[in-house]
């Protein structure tokens, strides 16, 4: 039988050979997720022997990772803004930088936190953005729109897992096509990668995130044009739109919304110092 420390050393070496940038971090994510271990457990329980069935599960996961599958895809879920979110083939894996979009919206509505806000999340995927906002805005209700039936089913499941099902509705829609009503907050992390760049993406993204959630068209701006052109009838008078963008799209996305009569309220950088989020309001 193998101890936890011995298994971690073995996995680290496997991932190192496979070219992982941070093999020990990935080993902790996978083993911790499979065995429900906290970070401190790797220190306090390092000399404990693993059950044979746990060893088998870990070896299977290590094999999948060395063949290019992302760690959280192997686990089937990942944490986001304090929530645990299931992943599926039809969903983009939510990244930490997207939490900046959540923080930006919360800052802009901080005086309205107790109000019954209406939130619309376009291209909701796992439901990450909308559900994170609902978890912080106790009287808000949210609608998640997506073209993927698989993504919508996953978003509904994530709402239930996190105790938010009564305040979340999932609707199959291409942007605003099947949407009705007006909203205080419209959010989106739309596809924004140029079509020509898709083949050059990291293998973990290219092979495991859905193309529908990545491909933003020839210049990466197709989704922003559609959202900006369609949003006004669905936005309350004092409402806001907040979107995630690519690192080099600040000016281009700003112009898209300004051309449709929106005023930029805020532009926020990500943890690496790249432009990542923009928020807008409708000009009177």
Q: In this predicted model, what pLDDT tens digit does every residue of 41-68 receive, in sequence order?
A: 999 999 999 999 999 999 999 999 999 9
Q: Above pLDDT 90, what percent of the chain? A: 95
Residues 230 and 205 in one domain: yes
Q: Say if residue 283's pLDDT is above 80.
A: no
What values do phi and psi take at 184, rounded to 5? Answer: -85, -30
Long-range CB contacts for residues 34-39, cutoff 8 Å, separation at least 24: 34/58, 34/61, 34/75
Q: Which pLDDT band holds residue 156 (cuts at 50, 70, 90)?
A: very high
Q: Which pLDDT band holds residue 1 (cuts at 50, 70, 90)?
A: confident
Angle at 175 between CA 169 and CA 178, to 5 degrees: 60
Of 51, 75, 99, which closes a domain?
75
Q: In whole angstroms, give the CA distance from residue 34 to residue 185.
A: 37
Q: What pLDDT is stored for residue 204 in this prediction?
A: 87
Cα 59–chain centre separation = 28
Domain count, the chain: 2
Residues 17 and 59 in one domain: yes
The whole domain housing 155 covers 80-282
Residues 34 and 126 in one domain: no
Angle at 53 between CA 47 and CA 57, to 5 degrees: 95
- Mean model confidence pLDDT for the chain: 96
Reported pTM:
0.94
Q: Which pLDDT band holds residue 35 (cuts at 50, 70, 90)?
A: very high
Residues 149 and 236 in one domain: yes
The HSE-up count of residue 31 (CA atoms within 13 Å, CB side) is 28
Residues 14 and 153 in one domain: no
Of 49, 75, 101, which closes a domain?
75
Give the residue among 96, 177, 180, 95 at the shortest CA–CA distance from 143: 180
Residues 123 and 255 in one domain: yes
Q: Say if residue 284's pLDDT is above 80.
A: no
Q: In whole angstroms, give the CA distance from residue 79 to residue 72.
A: 9
């Amino acid at each position: 039988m193998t101890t936890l420390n011995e298994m971690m050393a073995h996995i680290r070496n496997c991932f190192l050979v496979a070219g992982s940038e941070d093999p020990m971090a990935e080993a902790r994510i996978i083993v911790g997720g499979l065995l429900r271990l906290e970070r401190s457990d790797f220190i306090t329980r390092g000399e404990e022997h693993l059950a044979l069935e746990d060893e088998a599960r870990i070896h299977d996961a290590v094999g999948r990772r060395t063949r290019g599958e992302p760690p959280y895809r192997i686990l089937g879920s990942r944490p986001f803004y304090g929530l645990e979110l299931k992943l599926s083939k039809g969903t983009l894996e939510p990244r930490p930088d997207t939490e900046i979009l959540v923080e930006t919206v919360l800052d802009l509505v901080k005086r309205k936190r107790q109000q019954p806000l209406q939130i619309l999340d376009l291209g909701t995927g796992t439901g990450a953005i909308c559900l994170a906002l609902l978890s912080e805005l106790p009287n808000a209700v949210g609608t998640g729109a997506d073209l993927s039936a698989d993504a919508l089913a996953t978003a509904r499941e994530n709402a239930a897992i996190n105790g938010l099902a009564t305040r979340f509705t999932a609707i199959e829609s291409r942007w605003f096509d099947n949407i009705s009503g007006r909203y205080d907050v419209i959010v989106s992390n739309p596809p924004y990668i140029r079509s020509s760049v898709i083949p050059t993406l990291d293998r973990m993204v290219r092979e495991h995130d859905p193309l529908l959630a990545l491909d933003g068209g020839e210049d990466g701006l197709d989704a922003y044009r559609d959202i900006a052109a369609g949003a006004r009838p669905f936005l309350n008078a004092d409402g806001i739109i907040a979107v995630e963008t690519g690192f080099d799209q600040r000016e281009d996305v700003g112009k898209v919304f300004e051309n449709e009569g929106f005023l930029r309220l805020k532009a926020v950088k990500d943890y690496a110092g790249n432009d990542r989020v923009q928020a807008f309001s409708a000009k009177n």
